A and B are shown apart, each in its own frame.
Chain A
Amino acid sequence: METVLRTLAQLSPILFAVAFLGPVIDQGMQALGLAAPLGVSTLTFALLIGGAWGLFAQMTGRWI
């Protein structure tokens, strides 16, 4: 149990990015009427951006 929790806590930047940041970017783009480039859906684009940012936070320990 504790190992699972520790692992999840260590992965929290990635979890946050996929669970929340991606959908926020997606729904934010839709609300503003913005289209994703290269013909991909806004959700795919948002998950790529959010995921990359989460990976950055995961590796560096900071979002900004």
Chain B
Amino acid sequence: MNAHSLVSADLSTLTDAELRRLELKIARKYSGKMPWRIVIWAFGNLAVWLSLWPLVMSSIMPLWLAFPIATINIALVYLPTHEAQHDIIARPGTKLRWLNELVGHATSWMMIYPFEVLRITHLDHHRHTNDPELDVDITTVAPGPWSAIWTTIRQRQPKAKRSMDYLAALARANRPDLIVLAVLYRLGFIAILGALAWSGYALEALFLWWLPYQIAITYIIFFLSWAPHHPGNERYRYRNTRSWKSSVGNIGSMGMQFHIVHHLHPYIPLHLTPAAYYEMRPILEARGCRLGDL
């Protein structure tokens, strides 16, 4: 049986191993391709955000206009770093590996995280999805969308559990050096904001970085963590995440409608997950996945 005949096939007669084989065949078809668009996205987005600073400081662009652009820029930062975390741009040992790492490092600092911290904690999330003790994203679980937004804000407070969970993941990975680096990034962020503020650019720092970051991180966590895992109470790999039809569409939800494909096959580039999902859907249905109305 090939992947194209799946729609009409009765998959209930197949064994677990046969289903797995078919699923992997589809996944491989969509993997291993260089996602140039995410590289262009990463550096284009960075260039736009960086250009806002001189444009605003030299009064060429008003701050009220730069603020929403900066918010979009910071919201768009996470997906390139996410692709790099999963080695999707280039795997270790390949010719363009340096580009994968460059994309990761060049983007994650805008979110005030070292790239390696994001990589280690995110891969830990994949290993322990919905585990109340070990999933670093478990604090995003909430009964509904509004409480999810409020929970995200509460979990960014100084003594919130989420920060402790991140530090615990780094400790489990035996990377105390990254704990130090993460603290340095936080203190560096305060130092940069302070230097700008005491130089007379407090509002620029507020509306080009601090506030866009707060809005963007709320949006990112909502669509990348809360929505695809909701209600976050199942740990089986075919049930710990889902597909769903977002009211803001696939672009508005940053491609996360197909998050189930990402969790099952995290080496598939973001822009190919919809096609992989639709081809894989009958298998996922046979697996008892939570597919919603997508």
The stretch among B134-142, B183-191, B258-266 that forms the contact with chain A is B183-191
Q: Report A-chain residues with C-beta under 8 Å of the C-beta of B174.
A: none
Verify B202–A2 contact, CB threshold 8 A: no
Most buried by B among A16, A23, A57: A23
Instruction: Tell me whether B193 is interfacial, beta carbon within 8 Å.
Output: yes
Beta-carbon contact of A57 and B197 below 8 Å: no
Bound together, the chains give a CA A13 to CA B163 distance in angstroms of: 15
Contacts A5-B183, A9-B183, A23-B202 given; indicate if A61 touches B190 (C-beta within 8 A): no
Contacts of A8 in B (CB 8 A): 183, 187
Contact A63/B158 with A5-B184, A20-B197 known, Cβ cut-off 8 Å: yes
Looking at the assembled complex, report how far the CB atom of B187 sits from the nearest CB atom of chain A, in whole angstroms.
Answer: 6
A40 located at the interface, meaning its Cβ lies under 8 Å from any Cβ of chain B in the complex: no
Q: Which one, A9, A13, A19, contacts B194 given CB within 8 A?
A: A19
Decide: A62 and B154 in contact? CB cutoff 8 A: yes
What distance in Å separates the Cβ of B147 from its nearest Cβ neighbour in chain A?
Answer: 15
Q: Does B8 make an interface contact (CB < 8 A)?
A: no
Contacts of B206 in A (CB 8 A): 24, 28
Contact A24 B202 (CB under 8 A): yes
**CB closest chain-A residue, reference B150:** A64
Interface residues of A in 8-23 (CB under 8 A from B): 8-9, 12-13, 15-16, 18-20, 22-23
Q: How large is the interface on A (under 10, 10 to 19, 20 to 34, 35 or more residues)?
A: 20 to 34
**Contact indicator B203/A19 (Cβ below 8 Å):** no
* Cβ A64 vs Cβ B153 within 8 A: yes
What is the bound-complex CA distance between A61 and B184, given in angstroms?
20
Contact of B202 among A9, A16, A26 (CB under 8 A): A26
What band does the interface of chain B fall in when counting residues whose beta carbon is under 8 Å from A? 20 to 34
The answer for the CA separation of A6 and B200 in the assembled complex, in Å, is 29
Residue pair B197, A19 in contact (C-beta under 8 Å): yes
Residue A31 is within 8 A (CB to CB) of chain B in the complex: yes
Pair A5/B187 contact, Cβ less than 8 Å: yes
Query: Is B180 located at the chain interface by the 8 A CB criterion?
Result: yes
Per the bound structure, the CA–CA distance linking A13 and B154 in Å amounts to 15
> Which residues of A sit under 8 angstroms from B194, Cβ to Cβ?
15, 18-20, 23
A5 to B184, CA, bound (A): 8
B157 touches A62 (CB 8 A): yes
Beyond A16-B193, A23-B194, A28-B203, 14 extra complex contacts between A and B, CB < 8 Å: A8-B183, A8-B187, A15-B187, A19-B193, A19-B198, A20-B193, A23-B198, A26-B202, A27-B197, A27-B200, A27-B203, A62-B157, A62-B159, A62-B160
Ordered by A's residue number, 28 sampled pairs between the chains whose C-beta atoms are within 8 Å are A2-B180, A5-B180, A5-B183, A5-B187, A8-B187, A9-B186, A9-B187, A12-B158, A12-B186, A15-B187, A15-B190, A19-B190, A19-B197, A20-B197, A20-B210, A22-B197, A23-B194, A23-B197, A24-B202, A24-B205, A27-B197, A27-B200, A28-B203, A57-B157, A57-B158, A62-B154, A62-B157, A64-B157
Interface residues, chain B, with chain A CB atoms under 8 Å away: 153-154, 157-160, 180, 183-184, 186-187, 190-191, 193-194, 197-198, 200, 202-203, 205-206, 210
Q: Write the residues of chain A forming the contact surface with B, with a CB cutoff of 8 angstroms.
A: 2, 5-6, 8-9, 12-13, 15-16, 18-20, 22-24, 26-28, 31, 57-58, 61-64
Closest 10 CB pairs of A and B: A61-B159, A19-B194, A23-B197, A62-B157, A23-B202, A20-B193, A27-B202, A24-B202, A9-B183, A61-B158
